[in-house]
Amino acid sequence: MSAMRVDAKVVMLGKESVGKTSLVERYVHHRFLVGPYQNTIGAAFVAKPIQVGEKVITLGIWDTAGSERYEAMSRIYYRGARAAIVSYDLTDSSSFQRARFWVKELQNCEEHCKIYLCGSKSDLISEDRSLRQIDYHDAQDFADEIGAQHFETSSKTGTNVDELFQKVAEDYNSNAFQEMKPEETSVDLSQKKDSYFYSCCHNN
Amino acid sequence: MSQRTERRGGIHVDQSDLLCKNGCGYYGNAAWQALCSKCWREEYQKVRHKQIQDDWALAAKLQREEEAAYASSHGSQAQPPPQSTNPQPGHASLGPFSKFEEKKTNEKTRKVTTVKKFFSPSSRSAPKKETQEGKTPSPSLSRRASFDTDQVSKDFMDFLKNLHKPGREIHKQCRAFIVTMSSKKVQDLGADELSECVQDFYQNLSDRLLGHFKGSSESVEQVMDQVEKYIMTRLYKSVFCPETSDDEKKDLATQNRIRALHWVTIEMLCLSFDEEIPEVSENVVKAITDVIEMDSKRVPRDKLSCITRCSKHIFSAIRITKKEPASADDFLPALIYIVLKANPPRLQSNIQYITRFCNPSRLMSGEDGYYFTNLCCAAAFIEKLDAQSLNLSPEEFERYMSGQASPRSSDGVWSSAPPSDPINPVLAQLNTNLEALSGLSTRQEALMEAAQSLQAELLSWPQSVQHEVTGILKKYPLEVPPRHVPAIDDNDDVDNDNLPPPLMPQVFSG
Ligand SMILES: Nc1nc2c(ncn2[C@@H]2O[C@H](COP(=O)(O)OP(=O)(O)O)[C@@H](O)[C@H]2O)c(=O)[nH]1
Ligand SMILES: [Mg+2]
Ligand SMILES: [Zn+2]
């Protein structure tokens, strides 16, 4: 039962049916399933190793239950996430409102979580431009405002999917590297400075 | 003390098991080793104290062994390792913790007697253990402390031995930490503060390890897993569902809530389980067993493993039903269903304990963490569940909750099908057991009643006896006749006939 070690937790957030599960499915299994009865397949949790330069970063991708009735529970999911992919459906403006809601939630509760705004189902737009309900530049402005990366993806064709997750892994890698630097000089197990090692118990 | 005595599956219940083992008259609880809460607290204080002493004894012994092994394996390299500036490498790390040093000396005086006791041949020995140890049949190993806990210590030492000097350092840190955590002051801390202590310890130790292992988080996590196991096995009793928290209250609330929701069906949760397929119902039963088993584990990671096993069985059940892999959409409702069916003991306490004391890296990102988070969601959902979350009208929901109506009973969470139900033998078995249990509890109640009336009778018995005695005394008052002087006077009215004739003086002639 020794599961794969995971470097970073990535949560999928967004309104039901925007295509969160399809996105994971496409990225991890390189496939896309259509059909009125079957909207999702594949696992709910995936550990995915990604090559970043010399290193391998393993992302733990957390899919969430789609149904609205569990939406309130989603808040429990993003605790401790290092990245959140907040999806909206390019052909559904209400889903963009929902995305704004998730962004606000994350900003309030998870300041260490990097946000990736993802407009999904871009293949539908390519087929018929009139279907677009969210302007690219509006979304980009919003992304800039919140300091997020912005992608438009298609799980059907695979457009931008690998790029999105690659970016997540790269950002994590460079972030983690920065965080580690100051510590590198100070830690040596045999050093016995550490006055705060048992800091909570000093009142003994 | 051993985990094994903490059996949760109270299927086979001896009547006497239900009362406090101390015979104080209150009900005992398996979680408190068949004692009542009061006796348990008292007993537990003693045990914990003893355990700390035993810890020291064992640690000291293992340390000696380890040092001997180190010395022999390093032969002539007796000089201290290059980084160390302390002339006494063995005690180096305790330097900054003078407070602990003090504490330790206090403990030491007591420890000596304990160690001596181990060596004395009269002390109760555990021969099984010794044969297992094989090469070191030292009498000091025949200790009274629980086998499990000792085994964990031993495993921990064995693991650390391979790390050589850092291993010793880690061991010392852990030991000192456990002692600190066992002190009275720390015991009075709130649950969150206790958690902070442990998390700080994990954080600091893993930071230092990361430096030591040159940034290999794989190695760090390996060590941290062992550290968690060692520390939490020791601290479990004092930090699981601590008195300072309201965990116990929440446990009760959740338990009652789940009981009240016994009527929730698979359909209401929009769940894809076809329990008529034997393989599916098998997996469902396994999942239920796993989530119930969580309560019997001490190490947060072992509890997590139970949840993960439970989840895998759920995924299998869904996959078999749907004939394709399960997704997050299927998984959460299925987990909710399993939790409703299992009504896992002390669910909230277990969730809190894992949250507070698990190594965060495992809890936060990995697969175990995902399933655990889903369990938290399931618990939250059950707590907040209303008509809307089950697609019911408020009236329907009310009727089911109040027990005025129930959905088709065969779909109920507690299937009320007769024990002979051919469809699902495992559930049938569960039902039989449940019936046996409720029968037992009825008998237990009757017994209690009888005992109580017996007690009442016993209490009133001396009174009635006394009453009777007084009555008799009144009726036949004891009249002490006026004191008369017996014997001397021959004219006494005593019947002289029965007496031998008085001795008469006789004249002997000649
Ligand atoms: N054309 C098209 N359809 C998509 C795309 N992504 C998802 N869908 C469809 O949208 C529906 C919902 O997708 P799903 O991944 O289940 O959404 P979720 O509820 O967010 O997990 C499904 O019918 C998918 O086939 C996409 O990129 N292009
Ligand atoms: Mg989905
Ligand atoms: Zn008692």
pLDDT tens digit sequence for B368-408: 999 999 999 999 999 989 888 888 999 989 889 888 887 76
Helix (H) or strand (E) holding A12: strand A8-14
Residue A59 near residue A70, CB atoms below 8 Å: no
Instruction: Decide: helix, strand or coil at residue B38.
Output: helix
Q: How confident is the model at residue B186 (pLDDT cuts 50, 70, 90)?
A: confident
Give the residue from A81, A129, A128 showing the smallest Cα distance to A107: A81
By Cβ distance, the residue of A1, A189, A201 closest to B308 is A1
Q: How confident is the model at residue B433 (pLDDT cuts 50, 70, 90)?
A: confident
Residue A4 near residue A23, CB atoms below 8 Å: no
By Cβ distance, the residue of A9, A187, A195 closest to B208 is A187
Q: Which residue of A has its CA nearest to B195?
A: A200
When comparing pLDDT for A66 and B385, which is higher? B385
When comparing pLDDT for A10 and B166, which is higher? A10
Per-residue confidence (pLDDT) for residue B341, from 0 to 100: 94
- Mean pLDDT value across residues B409-416: 46
When comparing pLDDT for B469 and B358, which is higher? B358
Q: What is the CA radius of gyration of chain B?
A: 34
Above 90 in pLDDT, residue A166? yes
Residue A122 near residue A154, CB atoms below 8 Å: yes
Q: Is any ligand 1 atom within 6 A of the Cβ of residue A154?
A: yes
Above 80 in pLDDT, residue B304? yes
Per-residue confidence (pLDDT) for residue A152, from 0 to 100: 97
B329 to A40: CB separation less than 8 angstroms, yes or no = yes
Give the residue from B205, B228, B188, B250 showing the smallest Cα distance to B354: B228
Above 50 in pLDDT, residue A199? no
Give residue for tokens 């393989």. B279
Above 50 in pLDDT, residue B454? yes
For B248, residues 6+ apart whose C-beta sits below 8 A from its C-beta are B241, B349
Per-residue confidence (pLDDT) for residue B493, from 0 to 100: 55
- Mean pLDDT value across residues A90-115: 94
Per-residue confidence (pLDDT) for residue B52, from 0 to 100: 66
Distance CA A81, CA A9 (A): 5
- Mean pLDDT value across residues B140-166: 70
The torsion angles phi and psi of A94, rounded to 5 degrees, stand at -65, -30
Which of B2-16, B60-74, B424-438 is least confident? B2-16
Q: What is the whole-number distance in angstroms between the Cα of residue B40 and the centre of ligand 3?
A: 7
- Mean pLDDT value across residues A70-80: 83
Per-residue confidence (pLDDT) for residue B146, from 0 to 100: 60
Per-residue confidence (pLDDT) for residue A130, from 0 to 100: 95
Residue A164 near residue A32, CB atoms below 8 Å: no
Residue B115 near residue B138, CB atoms below 8 Å: no
Per-residue confidence (pLDDT) for residue B66, from 0 to 100: 60
Chain A residues with CB under 8 Å of B332 CB are 65, 70, 73
Q: What is the whole-number distance in angstroms between the Cα of residue B19 and the centre of ligand 3?
A: 8
When comparing pLDDT for B167 and B490, which is higher? B167
Per-residue confidence (pLDDT) for residue B492, from 0 to 100: 53
Q: How confident is the model at residue A193 (pLDDT cuts 50, 70, 90)?
A: very low
Helix (H) or strand (E) holding B50: helix B37-73
- Mean pLDDT value across residues B33-55: 73
Work out the angle between the directed axes of helices B191-212 and B217-239 (0-180°, nearest 10): 160
Distance CA B329, CA A22 (A): 12
Work out the angle between the directed axes of helices B328-342 and B300-322 (0-180°, nearest 10): 120
For B166, residues 6+ apart whose C-beta sits below 8 A from its C-beta are A189, A190, B209, B212
Q: How confident is the model at residue A161 (pLDDT cuts 50, 70, 90)?
A: very high
Distance CA B143, CA B124 (A): 7
Residue A114 near residue A178, CB atoms below 8 Å: no
A204 to B186: CB separation less than 8 angstroms, yes or no = yes
Residue A157 in tokens: 């064709």
Distance CA A190, CA B165 (A): 8
Q: How confident is the model at residue B33 (pLDDT cuts 50, 70, 90)?
A: confident
Q: What is the whole-number distance in angstroms between the Cα of residue B327 and the centre of ligand 2?
A: 7
For B202-254, how does the pLDDT look when each residue is reduced to its tens digit (9 = 90+)? 999 988 888 887 777 778 888 899 999 999 998 998 889 988 888 889 999 99
Distance CA B175, CA B411 (A): 52
By Cβ distance, the residue of B201, B328, B389 closest to A64 is B328
Which of B196-200, B305-309, B459-463 is least confident? B459-463
Residue B324 near residue B274, CB atoms below 8 Å: no
The C-alpha angle with vertex B269 and arms to B268 and B272, in degrees rounded to 5, equals 110
The torsion angles phi and psi of B188, rounded to 5 degrees, stand at -85, -5
| Distances, alpha carbon A76 to alpha carbons A81, A109, B383, in Å | 11, 11, 14
Chain A residues with CB under 8 Å of B367 CB are 3-4, 6, 45, 47, 60
Distance CA B226, CA B301 (A): 10
Which ligand does the CA of B327 lie closest to?
A: 2
Q: How confident is the model at residue B32 (pLDDT cuts 50, 70, 90)?
A: confident
Per-residue confidence (pLDDT) for residue A107, from 0 to 100: 93
Residue B449 in tokens: 């009643």
Distance CA A54, CA B35 (A): 59
Per-residue confidence (pLDDT) for residue A143, from 0 to 100: 97
| Interface A:B, Cβ pairs < 8 A | 170
What is the DSSP code string of B138-154? -GGG--SS-HHHHHHHH
Say which amino acid occupies A17.
S
Above 50 in pLDDT, residue A58? yes
B327 to A40: CB separation less than 8 angstroms, yes or no = yes
Above 50 in pLDDT, residue B70? yes
When comparing pLDDT for A46 and A190, which is higher? A46
Per-residue confidence (pLDDT) for residue B168, from 0 to 100: 84
The C-alpha angle with vertex B332 and arms to B191 and B256, in degrees rounded to 5, equals 55
Residue B381 in tokens: 């959902």
Above 70 in pLDDT, residue A155? yes
By Cβ distance, the residue of A69, A189, A197 closest to B211 is A189
When comparing pLDDT for B302 and A175, which is higher? B302
Say which amino acid occupies B8.
R
CB atoms within 10 A of CB B23: 10
| Residues β-bridged to residue B262 | none
| Residues β-bridged to residue B149 | none
B201 to A5: CB separation less than 8 angstroms, yes or no = no
Residue B54 near residue B145, CB atoms below 8 Å: yes
Q: What is the whole-number distance in angstroms between the Cα of residue B438 and the centre of ligand 3?
A: 24
Chain B residues with CB under 8 Å of A39 CB are 329
What is the DSSP code string of A140-201? HHHHHHHT-EEEE--TTT-TTHHHHHHHHHHHHHHHHHHHHHHHHTT--TT----SSTTGGG
Work out the angle between the directed axes of helices B191-212 and B347-357 (0-180°, nearest 10): 40
Distance CA B384, CA B368 (A): 24
Residue A164 near residue B146, CB atoms below 8 Å: no
Longest dimension (CA), chain B: 137
- Mean pLDDT value across residues B249-273: 91
Residue B182 near residue B259, CB atoms below 8 Å: no
The rounded mean pLDDT for chain B is: 74
Distance CA B205, CA B192 (A): 20
The C-alpha angle with vertex A155 and arms to A149 and A157, in degrees rounded to 5, equals 110
Q: Which residue of B has its CA nearest to A74?
A: B377
Give residue for tokens 């007993």. B43
Q: Is any ligand 1 atom within 6 A of the Cβ of residue A156?
A: yes
The DSSP output letter for A11 is E
- Mean pLDDT value across residues A39-57: 80
Per-residue confidence (pLDDT) for residue B441, from 0 to 100: 83
Q: How confident is the model at residue B309 (pLDDT cuts 50, 70, 90)?
A: very high
Give the residue from A183, A104, A189 showing the smallest Cα distance to A148: A104
Residue B26 in tokens: 């209150």
Distance CA B265, CA B288 (A): 16
Residue B383 in tokens: 């707590």
Which of B9-18, B75-84, B306-315 is least confident? B75-84
Torsion of CA B40, B43, B44, B45, to 10 degrees: 130
- Mean pLDDT value across residues B253-272: 90
Q: Which residue of A has its CA nearest to B306?
A: A1
